[in-house]
Structure 1
């Protein structure tokens, strides 16, 4: 690669935002380019910068669908809660109200688990550990 090509590539890269640069890294890597070629074309100082951008892009690619799925599940839980809430707060029929309250609690548990707010219900650690203490080269 000539100095002029590198200079032109670097000038073009300056105009790119970080997200655009990561997208370009993914595009070039998927096309089979080496890390050094990607670094030169996108404007990273070395191939390590291009590789780090690739890793960040992959993390973002996997994080976004997970966040979208989480939001979809939260929306579903909201709709379910809205459908049973009127019965849960209406004391006119105690049997129906109690069943609706159970559903509300189950929906809230699901929401808490989805958001990571639920504490583990039980933690049990079982392990045999042997400890040997040595003082001045003598085992106690």
Structure 2
């Protein structure tokens, strides 16, 4: 039995789960390479010291997940950078004063002072909100949606369904 197959010899992380050692990561990568060469899971288990073909299969799955992590992390980083740029651009629009324009001319009050247009600022606020929502989705920080159920109404609907089923099963006269 390899060291990582013995749970007593593996380290637990702060959440009580076992951490993978560098040995386990390397062995999982080797398992994936052997699988790509056409070896069976039992052959992989025998060659690399897994406890069985199921554990060899899980090793290959872990190796596949490891490969996907780095590109996904890069993609998330790039998406975050684009959201940062959008956020800065929307902030710049929000912080500027915008004059009201009608038919190509600046609209002024009775004293000749240009009237301010709140439309671009409101649009910038909407964009800022949308960017923040995108951040929450990208990093998974939104709280899960909750569904409330009225137990009495649900019970009444279930009873009605049972009554309909019972009515369909009654012998016809």
Three-state SS of the structure 2 residue aligned to 1:129 is helix
Please give the alpha-carbon distance, in whole angstroms, between the structure 1 residues aligned to 2:24 and 2:47: 14
Structure 1, gaps ≥5 residues long: 1-15, 133-140
CA distance in 2, matches of 1:44, 1:38: 8
Shift of 1:56: 1.6
Equivalent of 2:120 in 96, 108, 127:
96
The residue matched to 1:117 in structure 2 has which SS? Answer: coil
Q: For residue 25 of structure 2, give the secondary structure of its aligned residue in structure 1.
A: helix
Question: Residues 119, 49 of structure 1: CA spacing in aligned structure 2 closer, same or farther, 3 A cutoff?
Answer: closer
| TM-score, normalised via structure 2 length | 0.53
Larger radius of gyration: 2
Stretches (4+) displaced over 4 A: 119-128
Aligned to 1:70: 76
Q: Distance in 2 between matches of 1:44 and 1:122?
A: 43
> Can you give the 5+ residue segments of structure 2 that lack an aligned partner in the other structure?
1-21, 99-117, 163-173
Query: What is the match of residue 135 of structure 2?
Result: 111
* Residue number in structure 1 paired with 2:158: 129
The corresponding residue for 1:58 is: 64
| Match in the other structure for 2:167 | none
Shift in alpha-carbon separation, 1:81–1:26, aligned structure 2, 3 A:
same
1:31 Cα shift?
Answer: 0.8
- Which position in structure 1 is the counterpart of 2:92? 86
How many residue pairs were aligned?
116
**C-alpha offsets along residues 9-58 of structure 1, whole Å, 9 cap, x if unaligned?**
xxxxxxx7222111110110111112222123223233333122112223
